[in-house]
Structure 1
Amino acid sequence: MPSPSPAPRKPLRVAVIGGGIGGLTLGLALRAHGLRAEIYEQAAELAEIGAAVALSANATRELARLGLGPALAAVSTEPTELIFRDGRSGARIAAHPVRDGGAYRTRFGAPYYGVHRADLQKVLSGGLAGEGLHLGHRLAALDQNGDVMALTFANGVEVEADLVIGGDGVRSAVRRWITGGERVRYSGTSAFRGVVPMGLLPSLTDPEAIQFWMGPDAHLLHYAIGGEADSVNFFAVVEGPETWTSERWLTGIAAGEHRAGFAGWHPAVIEMIDAIPQTQRWGLFVTDPLRRWHRGRAVLMGDSAHAMLPHHGQGANTTIEDAVTLAELLAAGGARDLDGMMRRYQALRRTRTRTIQRSAWATNRLLHLPDSIGPEGLARRDARMARFPEDFGWIHAFDARDAVAEAVAAEPRAA
């Protein structure tokens, strides 16, 4: 008499907290492997705060693999160059081709894009087509009963999951459950930001380049965005205030306060930061390095695990890497060994993200050198900017899918 067939394996129940760039990418990456995620977003609609995001090759190659390449290209600008300038004179200190001559794509095998966050989110959510996305769900409580995670949302909904992935940002509720504390701190720097129509910037040269204007205790980053390169996203960073008293990362400012750190700077800088009304200041917060990224059947990704200063433009990019890594590990047998999967995930992601975090801190100091550093100190800075592709190409060359494949191949096989 034939033996009975084994009971079919129940589908893995994955709950993702946060419907931002990371959560949506994870949903798409899991679906590509025949796995489903339920994504819970606290907002009533998908409306990204902030202005724009720079996507480097370590992210765009992954989004292309998910079938989003043409849609992403249609709403993005590929910068002509990366330019470093003196903030006051406007002199070009160093420049490196990006779109020009196909230099960046040739080196890294994928494009570099400037894209509005709302457009990126539309591309991601459009690819997902609403599958498994639940809006208006703010996580209120998380608990574990055996191997099952119990989630309670502020709207009264209660669900169970086999795995909870916290992609809920700097103020992560999932991180508090895993670590028992906040572990987020103010960096001592803040920013003013906005998106400006290109027509309001007559003094700006090389308008389609990504540019850093550097000076004492401040810098301005900007790049063109949109399918027609018709707008410029800027991010103006200053030292201070010394302490941050608001419970939010946004606080109101007095009229003209945004200009204080840029007195005497080049007219193109002043023109840009004055082009739209500035009524608030963004505090820049980072996550202290975590000893562990997981507890029980919950694990972190993105800013909830490694919020960093934005000076390498890697917040969204490393979040996309996290999402792809989790999906690849789950597809490579991790769904049958969740504890082992989370250990492997942490081992793959923690060193890289910590290194980028530390480098972003160092870059902040380099961009804000005081005049007292003298000509020799500024010359050393300028030499480092001239070596930028060589010093930081490792960030852009990274391939998350290949990293997982190499790690899985290196693991000893069970007898």
Structure 2
Amino acid sequence: MSQSPEIAILGGGIGGLAAAAFLRRAGLASTIYEQAAELTDVGAGLVVAPNAAWLLRRLGVLDAFTRRAVRLEVGWEFRRWQDGRILSAENLATSCERLYGEQTYTAHRADLLDVLRKAVPEDTVHLGRRCTGLLPREGRPALRFDDGEVVETDVVIGADGIHSVVRHALTESPAPAYSGLCAFRALVPAQDAPPPARRNAQTLWIGPDHHLVHYPVSAGELVNLVAFAPAGDYAVESWTATATVEELLAEFRGWDPRLLDLIRAAGTPGRWALLDRSPLRRWSHGPVTLLGDAAHPMFPFFTQGAAQAIEDAAVLARCLAADAADPATALRRYEALRIPRTTRLQEVSHGRSHLNHLPDGPAQQARDAAFADADPLLANGWIYGYDPDTAAALPR
């Protein structure tokens, strides 16, 4: 193999685009195959914490990103479900940069996709290409597409999400388990939102069996809302499935009137089931590997899904650049560096729903008291202070 392997990336989402951008920065070319006919805004809002913001700065896209992103002044603002009483809040405006060298931002997913797309050559992104399988070949993997074309390459990166074709080909992981939870999401025009939701704050309303998060996105023009509730018999895991405002209101009946006003302005909320997937012990087989949600789907309670995909991309690019002539060795190095961290995040994210959804009573009162004394920004330094370069430089 030459020193510059051919690299195919399946998936043109945040992880796939970040992988292509970091590979290009490391001097390696890649080709992205995305099944959608266009890169759309499905997914609404996300949080870009310091560990992800720092990597966007390394790519040279942070300044462009912040033109539409919202810099948070307050985060981890927990409010009681019934009356909106603040249980705790973190001053991000002064603490984030002091502790971790970057701020925390919220953004529409489309705005992050846009700056990452501009970090890779336009002709390397092939839209409308749906991969249907990974074919065994002597020496080189091959991808089969729905139009019958077969593409051979040196390296395959499966950044194709929770329903990953590459993950299915590499692993025999059990079917996802019913978690008992579902999520609703919506974007509300800022002028229709109550004043508490228009602040540069990430607010979490917590109560029995439910919680709801909101924060501004799109330069403050919209408020992103995501809510979590018992799933009942709902089991559809899709970004395009919808609910009604009435269904979402029914879940939060009796909650603070300001929160109900926000929900009433939500239009047609999206709805999806949270399915539980156990961490994988291996991501790679020879020159084929996984990245982002395809490798480590996690519940969104620590808002690290996009950040971990970007971290994966940075470490993967460094590993491949160091061992370009031996991709299998590079990918083993990559998964060894990343699996312990992403597994830990999967586990802590999984456990968060129980804490947020406690019924009123002694356990809830103890939790609220603990929140009042906590410093989550400092306590989660292992998340926000991560440096992929330092990790990749550890002895082999």
Q: TM class, shorter-chain normalised?
A: over 0.9
Tell whether the 8 Å contact from 1:187 to 1:286 is kept in structure 2 after alignment: yes
- Aligned amino acid, residue 65 of structure 2: L
Query: Among 319, 323, 339, which residue is 1:350 paired with?
Result: 339
Partner of 1:5: none
Cα offset, 1:249, TM superposition: 5.8
Tell whether the 8 Å contact from 1:51 to 1:233 is kept in structure 2 after alignment: yes
Partner of 2:256: 266
Cα offset, 1:374, TM superposition: 5.0
Partner of 1:291: 281
Partner of 1:208: 200
Cα offset, 1:392, TM superposition: 1.3
Partner of 2:126: 134
Cα offset, 1:278, TM superposition: 3.1
Cα offset, 1:183, TM superposition: 4.3
CA–CA separation in structure 2 for the residues paired with 1:365 and 1:400: 31
Partner of 1:3: none
Secondary structure at the counterpart of residue 9 of structure 1: coil
Cα offset, 1:174, TM superposition: 0.3
Moved more, 103-112 or 209-218: 103-112
Secondary structure at the counterpart of residue 151 of structure 2: strand
Secondary structure at the counterpart of residue 371 of structure 1: coil
Partner of 1:95: 89
CA–CA separation in structure 2 for the residues paired with 1:233 and 1:252: 16
Tell whether the 8 Å contact from 1:20 to 1:48 is kept in structure 2 after alignment: no
Q: Per-residue CA shift, 1:196-253, capped at 9, x if unaligned?
A: 12111234267211111111111111111123x2221111111222x44446465454
Cα offset, 1:9, TM superposition: 2.9
Secondary structure at the counterpart of residue 166 of structure 2: helix
Alignment of 1:368-383 (within 5 A): 368-373=357-362, 376-383=365-372
CA–CA separation in structure 2 for the residues paired with 1:17 and 1:205: 37
CA–CA separation in structure 2 for the residues paired with 1:247 and 1:396: 29
Q: Per-residue CA shift, 1:105-134, capped at 9, x if unaligned?
A: 121111211111111111111222414111
Flag the structure with larger Rg.
1
Q: Tell me whether 1:340 sits opposite 2:334 in the alignment.
A: no
CA–CA separation in structure 2 for the residues paired with 1:203 and 1:63: 31
CA–CA separation in structure 2 for the residues paired with 1:149 and 1:205: 49
The unaligned stretches of length 5 or more in structure 2 are none
Tell whether the 8 Å contact from 2:186 to 2:270 is kept in structure 1 after alignment: no
Q: Per-residue CA shift, 1:333-357, capped at 9, x if unaligned?
A: x212222212211111111111111
Percent identity over paired residues: 37
Cα offset, 1:293, TM superposition: 0.7
Partner of 1:15: 8
CA–CA separation in structure 2 for the residues paired with 1:16 and 1:374: 47
Cα offset, 1:56, TM superposition: 0.7
Moved more, 195-204 or 317-326: 195-204
CA–CA separation in structure 2 for the residues paired with 1:129 and 1:309: 32
Secondary structure at the counterpart of residue 336 of structure 1: coil
TM-score normalised to structure 1 length: 0.90
Query: Among 58, 67, 71, which residue is 2:64 paired with?
Result: 71
Q: Note closer, same or farther for the CA distance 1:378–1:11 as it changes in structure 2 (3 Å cut).
A: closer
Q: Note closer, same or farther for the CA distance 1:337–1:392 as it changes in structure 2 (3 Å cut).
A: same
Tell whether the 8 Å contact from 1:175 to 1:182 is kept in structure 2 after alignment: no
- Aligned amino acid, residue 201 of structure 2: A
Q: Note closer, same or farther for the CA distance 1:375–1:223 as it changes in structure 2 (3 Å cut).
A: closer
Partner of 1:168: 160
CA–CA separation in structure 2 for the residues paired with 1:186 and 1:396: 30
Partner of 2:221: 230
Tell whether the 8 Å contact from 1:84 to 1:213 is kept in structure 2 after alignment: yes
Q: Per-residue CA shift, 1:129-163, capped at 9, x if unaligned?
A: 41411111111121121220111111232211111
CA–CA separation in structure 2 for the residues paired with 1:25 and 1:97: 29
CA–CA separation in structure 2 for the residues paired with 1:279 and 1:289: 29
Secondary structure at the counterpart of residue 40 of structure 2: coil
CA–CA separation in structure 2 for the residues paired with 1:328 and 1:375: 45
- Aligned amino acid, residue 26 of structure 1: A
Moved more, 208-217 or 276-285: 276-285
CA–CA separation in structure 2 for the residues paired with 1:365 and 1:383: 18
Cα offset, 1:23, TM superposition: 0.5
Q: Note closer, same or farther for the CA distance 1:219–1:376 as it changes in structure 2 (3 Å cut).
A: closer
CA–CA separation in structure 2 for the residues paired with 1:206 and 1:43: 33
TM-score normalised to structure 2 length: 0.94
Partner of 2:231: 240
Partner of 1:388: 376
- Aligned amino acid, residue 298 of structure 1: V
- Aligned amino acid, residue 390 of structure 1: L
Tell whether the 8 Å contact from 2:242 to 2:268 is kept in structure 1 after alignment: no
Tell me the C-alpha RMSD between the 2 structures. Answer: 2.0
The unaligned stretches of length 5 or more in structure 1 are 1-7
Secondary structure at the counterpart of residue 344 of structure 1: helix
Q: Note closer, same or farther for the CA distance 1:381–1:217 as it changes in structure 2 (3 Å cut).
A: farther
CA–CA separation in structure 2 for the residues paired with 1:275 and 1:40: 37
Partner of 1:107: 99
